[in-house]
């Protein structure tokens, strides 16, 4: 902790002497910067469900549909290839401003990317630049680069991201729409057919020790703060190669997760649920081989697919946790930014010539 405090003070001093240009904060809808920045513009204590995870989340969970049909106020707080330790610090960050009742954690990244993943820092700047400077952010950077001093210097500029109201105002003006109406979802209007997944549900391999450590931190944090933790797998093309020479074994790590959660339940931790979606893929209503629900051949749902999965997810959340925990906020003026977001998405869908669903 002393070293983190020293880093915090050192970087504060550096930032006071460095003149950062306007290029640091940019509108990157799918890398995570926009999701990070817009979180600070959400009405205080209005988000009941926060989604954490990789780009599978911001492409694959249509938060506006969850609002339109169920009145659930949800937000996709994701970033590209979001490591689970980044998810942990994102969770701590959003809980400074919101009181989520449920955290939905997509477990793709810990199963797909191990410590030797060649591009593990490729999207790190996107994950960092949307987060305000604080001790939480310093700890996040320290954790992400495993204390490497050269890497910390490389990502120094990210400490500055989203730190001033002026930056937010500038980006809002350039974006030409109200920041508060953005709920993290970014639709894709492409189509591709992918193979229906056939997981190995028997063999087991563990994620990296670091991923295991931060999964437990998320579990402990949610349990301590009275938050339900709903772990899921947003539909995608299972076990597609991520780098040359590495065999993907994501299903084996989902099996590990299932076993691990059964063990911790014996400790009296009762706030965690895992929806192993690949075991009942037919229940989701997702079209794999017909090509209508996927945007590309590997990872991402398109608008139709994200809408279908959002309907399934919203129904399951409401059924599992009840309207007392996840109330229907439609008609409440305090939540009008969700109505505005729905109208903006409708215009975007129409502009692409797609059917509203």
Q: How far apart are CA 6 and CA 105, in angstroms?
A: 32
* The pLDDT of residue 151: 86
Say yes or no to pLDDT of 14 above 50. no
**pLDDT bucket at 105, cuts 50 / 70 / 90:** very high
Cα–Cα distance list, 178 to 114, 170, 171, 326 (Å): 38, 12, 10, 25
* Of 294, 266, 246, residue with least CA distance to 111: 246
Specify the range with the lowest mean pLDDT, choosing from 164-178, 319-333, 337-351: 164-178
Cβ-Cβ contacts under 8 Å for 177 (sequence gap 6 or more): 344
* The pLDDT of residue 4: 53
Say yes or no to pLDDT of 240 above 60. yes
Say yes or no to pLDDT of 328 above 50. yes
* The pLDDT of residue 115: 81
* The pLDDT of residue 344: 95
* Of 202, 148, 149, 189, residue with least CA distance to 300: 189
Say yes or no to pLDDT of 271 above 90. yes
Tokens coding 220: 């402990």
pLDDT tens for residues 124-152?
988 988 888 899 999 999 999 988 888 88
Contacts 24+ apart (CB under 8 A), 116-120: 116/246, 117/242, 117/243, 117/246, 118/243, 119/81, 119/243, 120/81, 120/83
Tokens coding 105: 């954690």
Q: How far apart are CA 27 and CA 177, in angstroms?
A: 12
- Per-residue DSSP letters for 234-274? ----TT--SSTT----HHHHHHHHHHHHHHHHTTT--SEEE
* Of 59, 103, 48, 34, residue with least CA distance to 308: 59
Q: Is 182 helix (H, G, I), strand (E, B) or coil?
A: coil
| pTM metric for this prediction | 0.89
Mean pLDDT of 93-98: 98
* The pLDDT of residue 246: 80
* The pLDDT of residue 51: 98
Q: How far apart are CA 82 and CA 78, in angstroms?
A: 7
* The pLDDT of residue 31: 79
pLDDT tens for residues 180-213?
999 999 999 999 999 999 999 999 999 999 999 9
- The total number of residues shown for the chain amounts to 357
- Give percent of the chain with pLDDT exceeding 70: 85
What does pLDDT average to over the chain?
A: 88
pLDDT tens for residues 205-215?
999 999 999 99
* The pLDDT of residue 256: 98
Looking at the chain, list the stretches that DSSP marks H as alpha helix, in order from N- to C-terminal side: 2-17, 33-39, 55-60, 63-70, 84-94, 108-112, 124-129, 135-144, 149-154, 165-175, 209-224, 250-265, 303-325, 336-351
**pLDDT bucket at 179, cuts 50 / 70 / 90:** confident
Say yes or no to pLDDT of 297 above 70. yes
* The pLDDT of residue 164: 53
Cα–Cα distance list, 306 to 258, 313, 329 (Å): 25, 10, 22
């Amino acid at each position: 902790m002393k070293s983190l405090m020293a880093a915090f003070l050192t970087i504060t001093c550096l930032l006071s002497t460095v003149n950062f240009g306007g290029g640091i904060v940019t509108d990157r809808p799918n890398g995570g910067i926009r999701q990070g920045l817009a979180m600070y513009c959400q009405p205080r204590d209005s988000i009941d469900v926060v989604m954490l995870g990789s780009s599978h989340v911001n492409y694959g969970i249509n938060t506006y549909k969850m609002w339109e049909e169920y009145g659930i106020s949800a937000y996709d707080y994701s970033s590209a290839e979001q490591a689970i330790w980044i998810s942990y610090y994102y969770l701590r960050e959003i809980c400074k401003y919101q009181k989520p009742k449920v955290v939905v954690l997509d477990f793709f990244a810990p199963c797909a990317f191990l410590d030797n993943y060649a591009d593990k820092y490729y999207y790190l700047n996107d994950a960092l630049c949307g987060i305000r400077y604080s001790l939480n952010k310093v700890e996040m950077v320290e954790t992400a680069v495993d204390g490497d001093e050269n890497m910390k210097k490389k990502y120094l500029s990210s400490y500055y991201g989203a730190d001033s109201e002026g930056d937010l105002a500038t980006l809002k003006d350039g974006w030409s729409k109200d920041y508060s109406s953005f709920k993290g979802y970014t639709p894709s209007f492409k189509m591709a057919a992918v193979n229906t997944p056939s997981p190995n549900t028997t063999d087991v391999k563990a994620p990296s020790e670091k991923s295991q450590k931060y999964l437990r931190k998320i579990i402990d944090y949610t349990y301590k703060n009275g938050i339900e933790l709903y772990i899921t797998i947003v539909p995608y093309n299972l076990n597609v190669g991520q780098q040359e020479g590495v065999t993907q074994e994501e299903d084996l790590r989902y099996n590990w997760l299932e076993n691990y959660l059964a063990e911790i339940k014996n400790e009296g931790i009762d706030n965690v649920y895992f929806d192993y979606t690949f075991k009942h893929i037919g229940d989701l209503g997702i079209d794999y081989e017909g090509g209508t629900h996927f945007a590309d051949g590997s990872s991402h749902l398109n608008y139709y697919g994200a809408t279908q999965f959002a309907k399934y997810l919203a129904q399951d959340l409401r059924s599992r946790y009840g309207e007392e925990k996840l109330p229907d906020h439609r008609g409440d003026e305090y939540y009008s930014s969700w109505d505005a977001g729905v109208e903006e998405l409708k215009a975007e869908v129409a502009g692409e010539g797609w059917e509203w669903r």
